[in-house]
Amino acid sequence: MKIAVIGAGYVGLVSAACFAELGHEVIAVDNDPRKVDLLNQGQIPIHEEMLPELVARHRGGRLQFSSNITQASRHADAIFICVGTPPAVTGEADLSYVEGVARELAVSLEGNKVIVEKSTVPVGTAEAVRRTMLLHGANSEHFSVASNPEFLREGTAVADFLYPDRILLGVPDQRARETLSAIYQPILDGSYYKRPDALPGKASQPAQLIVTSVKSAELIKHASNAFLALKISFINSVANVCELVGADVREVAVGMGTDSRIGPRFLTPGIGYGGSCFPKDVLAFRSVARGVGYDFALLTEVMSVNEDQKLRFVAKVREALWTLRGKKLAVLGLAFKGGTDDVRDSPALDLVERFIAEGAQVCAYDPAAMSRAQALLSSDALTYADDAYDACKGADALLILTEWPEFAAIDLTRVRGLLKLPIVLDGKNLLDPEAVLKAGMHYFGVGCCPIADTLSGAQPQSVQPRSAQKTMWSAVAEDAGALQTSAV
């Protein structure tokens, strides 16, 4: 098939490269000429596993880059809209980019086309796209508007595209259904996975094809993201209760997740969810509901728990250090999650700003997101380290704010030798508390109650309910005292 992809961002670029991988002729269009130039030179402006290999494999062949929507859409059987749908100030999705693309497609329409929404959009957007195109002169016989939402997680988007749980097609007519089914055929019949050059992934079985009305498909996307955000806010709330009663949320999550109706994934508590999807999609979905007269109050609570989780972590750091003014904090992680360079709505950046506002000095390291963070956050109180250990030098505490695998494998003995105070606050429950204790440091996680320890390296004290627990500060002060005597 011939495909045009409008918008070559995290979603559009991955989709275009994967469509080419499936054997289609693809033109990816972007209105940022710099981005198009970079792509034509083979440079990839985003951090996505396997994307560089995929673009290198097809660039100049089945995958072209352009800034001309008209030329690209004339060439195509299907035109995928992948432009941004950022939140407007009032919370609902800003669809002005989608509308702009619909206008341009209307005036350039030739022959039969399927216009496909891949961006996350409120239910009813396809109707608005259709109306806009008719208003701008498109012939209603020459196009149909379908919904094909993406369920790509940043960092693993290529694998998520080629090895999806399901392919969701919201189609208004048979022609759109046939066109879109043909595009995904190599995944649906599993033939792609039999190719000797297929990219690695885990195909437990070929993807399930789900065909619905256009409106149902649009709603499935918002409801899916909102539910995943709800699941994260739920486990964050459970973690907060665990801390107060002395239970361990990691054990609780295992006990819950082994129920097939709950499932083990998205049960990791932390500093709250971030990224360019959950925050905006929860807000947009609530706006959609309110727009038709339903107050989706549950989503209001999902958002307030998420905001509160960040404040609770700041309070935890403040408690461990007594006051943040003048303290030096080593921060590992700035991206909104591990495996990506994206800092949009990153809880880590939000926390860094809060620490600086309280007078702390922050030395931060992130394997991929530092340049994007530097573009957003500059302060005399913020320095960027060359690596994780460099960030730890002379710090009063080590904070883990993004779940990068390399942080989970950090040499804790080396960290202990670099920190001024032996304090680790793990906002992502990434480290093994026992290993941190064995390296002679205090460990404070999320929902696993702070394990007071004795720096003499004695066995960690048995886990006590918080009420019977020394406060973190007194435990650290006592040990710091012990340190001084032992150092004499």
Rounded distance between C-alpha atoms, residue 236 and residue 447, angstroms: 8
Rounded distance between C-alpha atoms, residue 131 and residue 442, angstroms: 61
Q: How far is CA 362 from CA 347, 352, 398, in A?
A: 15, 7, 10
Torsion sign across C-alpha atoms 204, 205, 208, 209: positive
Binding residue for ligand UDX (CB under 6 A) from 4, 20, 22, 83? 83
Q: State the minimum distance, in angstroms, from the CB of residue 259 to ligand UDX.
A: 16
**Residue 155 or 450 with smaller CB distance to ligand UDX:** 155
Q: How many CB atoms lie within 10 A of CB 376?
A: 13
**Residue 120 or 287 with smaller CB distance to ligand UDX:** 120
Answer yes or no whether residue 12 interacts with ligand UDX by CB under 6 A: yes
Q: State the minimum distance, in angstroms, from the CB of residue 299 to ligand UDX.
A: 15
For residue 314, give the DSSP letter: H
Q: State the minimum distance, in angstroms, from the CB of residue 452 to ligand UDX.
A: 26
- Write out the binding residues for ligand UDX, residues 230-269 only, by CB under 6 A: 232, 266-268
Answer yes or no whether residue 275 interacts with ligand UDX by CB under 6 A: yes
Q: What is the CA radius of gyration of the chain?
A: 25
Tell me which stretch binds ligand UDX (CB under 6 A): 4-12, 285-293, 456-464, 469-477: 4-12
Tell me the residue type at 41: Q
- Write out the binding residues for ligand UDX, residues 117-136 only, by CB under 6 A: 119-120
Rounded distance between C-alpha atoms, residue 129 and residue 95, angstroms: 10
CB 19 within 8 A of CB 11: no
Q: How many CB atoms lie within 10 A of CB 160?
A: 18
Binding residue for ligand UDX (CB under 6 A) from 84, 87, 422, 445? 84
- Write out the binding residues for ligand UDX, residues 313-352 only, by CB under 6 A: 336-337
Answer yes or no whether residue 11 interacts with ligand UDX by CB under 6 A: yes
Binding residue for ligand UDX (CB under 6 A) from 270, 422, 445, 450? 270
CB 275 within 8 A of CB 338: no
Q: How many CB atoms lie within 10 A of CB 204?
A: 6
Marked catalytic residue, from 277, 392, 448, 449? 277
Q: State the minimum distance, in angstroms, from the CB of residue 340 to ligand UDX.
A: 7
449 is catalytic: no
Answer yes or no whether residue 7 interacts with ligand UDX by CB under 6 A: yes
CB 158 within 8 A of CB 49: yes
Q: Total residues at the site for ligand UDX (CB under 6 A)?
A: 39
CB 69 within 8 A of CB 7: no
Binding residue for ligand UDX (CB under 6 A) from 172, 274, 440, 450? 274
Q: State the minimum distance, in angstroms, from the CB of residue 206 to ligand UDX.
A: 19
Binding residue for ligand UDX (CB under 6 A) from 126, 152, 217, 242? 152
Rounded distance between C-alpha atoms, residue 123 and residue 274, angstroms: 23
Answer yes or no whether residue 273 interacts with ligand UDX by CB under 6 A: yes
Contacts with 135 (C-beta within 8 Å, 6 or more apart), sequence order: 106
Contacts with 354 (C-beta within 8 Å, 6 or more apart), sequence order: 310, 314
The SS3 assignment for 410 reads: coil
Binding flags for ligand UDX, 195-234, as an x/- string (CB under 6 A):
------------------------------x--x---x--
Return residues touching ligand UDX (CB under 6 A): 7-12, 30-32, 35, 82-85, 97, 100-101, 119-120, 150-154, 225, 228, 232, 266-268, 270, 273-278, 336-337
Question: Would you name the residues annotated as active-site residues?
Answer: 277
